[in-house]
Amino acid sequence: MKKAAIIVGKPNAGKSTTIREFKSIVKMESFHIFQLWGKRGYILSCSFEEAGRDIEATIKKLSGFDYLVFACQGPKLSRVHQVLEKASFISHDIVIQSVAEARNKAREIVSFFNSN
């Protein structure tokens, strides 16, 4: 079962801090690729809005991974959900409002990936 965790928050809410915390929990193979329970995942820390990244092309390119972790500020969130569903990913929004929540939100990502 392929899963995608989307860290959602306004600018400076703690999305990048959450991703750094998550990276400290999992086994990183490279800057973007991680392993968790024998499965491979990919992290994009710069939000779709900030990077101006093409949602369809990005998800298609990364669809071979078991897990995806994305940051999103909100305006493109519904489109991200649509494209992930089309690519057979189950997605879950991790909403963050302040940097102080980052460690717990990183653990929430791990819990989501561990759930059935």
CATH for the stretch 2-114: 3.40.50.11230
Quick one: pLDDT at residue 49? 84
Q: What is the pLDDT of residues 60-85, one digit of tens each?
A: 999 999 999 999 988 889 999 999 99
Helix or strand holding residue 76 (H, E)? none
- The answer to whether residues 35 and 9 touch, using CB atoms and an 8 Å cutoff, is no
Q: What is the pLDDT of residues 92-113, one digit of tens each?
A: 999 999 999 999 999 999 999 9
Q: Two tokens at 6? A: 């989307």
- The answer to whether residues 13 and 98 touch, using CB atoms and an 8 Å cutoff, is yes
